[in-house]
Amino acid sequence: MDQFVRSSLSPYRIFRVEDWAKLRADMPMTLSEEEVAGLQSLNDPMSIEEVEEVYLPISRLLSFYVEATQELFQATQRFLGTGESKTPFIIGIAGSVAVGKSTTARILRELLKRWPSHPRVELVTTDGFLYPNAVLEAEGLMERKGFPESYDVSALLNFLTAIKAGTPRVSAPVYSHLVYDIVPGETITVERPDILILEGLNVLQTRDPPPDGKAVPFVSDFFDFSIYIDADEQSVERWYLERFMRLRETRFRDPRSYFHRYASLGDEEAAVVARGLWERINLVNLRANILPTRPRAELILRKNDDHFIVEVALRKI
């Protein structure tokens, strides 16, 4: 956590994990060790103890938020004299590449959908809203993939608008990490979830207002709660490099992989390529676009060099 988060003027209250774990209260553990292992991303360790100490209290807090938000929505409906159904609760999860967003999102989805008051929990990543590679190549943006300008923000905003409006069936594009591109003609359908988790690099990103004064919504305007996964820059770099080297031995060996050309590289050559990708693209994006959005999150999860959460910062104002 930086000085802003720790200062006396900080809007956050910081918890050590051992103190945060006590806020689990008597909430039962609903995931097995095997289930937790199956939800982990490559090179993102997660222990059953961490789920109990960190994620169970988070799911308990989020359940309180969901119930309170629905009560407020119902109060508004009574005031208006309308009978609209409840609106989905949307959670945004942000953070750098390789920091563990996907594992966090999957763990929270599984914990939250076990609460009887909101069993339908959906997870969508912003990868599906990247422009296709053909568009990025035409615009000279392939080395800016993952930067704010590489996303079809209008499509993402339309998707979130439809979700919040209670549209029965809302479709989103599908992204393939194997081919590193949008899958033409393939979509996933979200059907009136109680909770939607949206995970992505730049979900807390803001934009400069247009000069004509027209209203421009941000993706985060649709969030009811947001989480930022945080770690030292050097740690994230190491995790990124380690993941790249492991993928070189697994997914990259598939001839269909966009990165298949790296599978035959020696260790030293592969390390040079991975570090170049990190320094040229991912580090620049982290510093310019992702890290500056951290103070906008309601909850910050701080990881140590071993990928485990050691501090939790909860916004108090």
**pLDDT tens-digit map of 118-132:** 689 999 999 999 999
| DSSP 8-class letter at 150 | G
Distance CA 34, CA 44 (A): 15
What pLDDT is stored for residue 17 in this prediction?
96
pLDDT of residue 1: 62
Count of C-beta atoms within a 10 Å radius of residue 32: 10
Distances (CA, A) of 163 to 144, 149, 160, 217: 28, 23, 5, 15
Give residue 41's pLDDT: 85
Task: Give the per-residue pLDDT at 5.
Answer: 66
For residue 43, the model assigns a pLDDT of 81
Q: For the chain, give the secondary structure using H, E and C.
A: CCHHHHCCCCCEEEEEHHHHHHHHCCCCCCCCHHHHHHHCCCCCCCCHHHHHHHHHHHHHHHHHHHHHHHHHHHHHHHHHCCCCCCCCEEEEEEECCCCCHHHHHHHHHHHHCCCCCCCCEEEEEHHHHECCHHHHHHCCCHHHCCCHHHECHHHHHHHHHHHHCCCCCEEEEEEECCCCEEEEEEEEEECCCCEEEEECCCCCCCCCCCCCCCCCCCHHHHCCEEEEEECCHHHHHHHHHHHHHHHHHCHHHCCCCCCHHHCCCCHHHHHHHHHHHHHHHHHHHHHHHHHHHHHHCCEEEEECCCCCEEEEEEECC
Tokens of 281: 């693209």
- Rounded to 5, what percent of the chain is helix, strand, coil? 45, 20, 35
Low-confidence ranges of the chain (pLDDT < 70): 1-8, 118, 208-215
Residue 116 to residue 72: CA distance in whole angstroms: 19
| Residue of 177, 172, 62, 163 lying closest to 111 (CA atoms) | 62
Give the pLDDT score at 106.
Answer: 96
For 307, list phi and psi in degrees, rounded to 5. Answer: 80, 10
Domains of the chain in sequence order: 3-315 (3.40.50.300)
pTM: 0.94
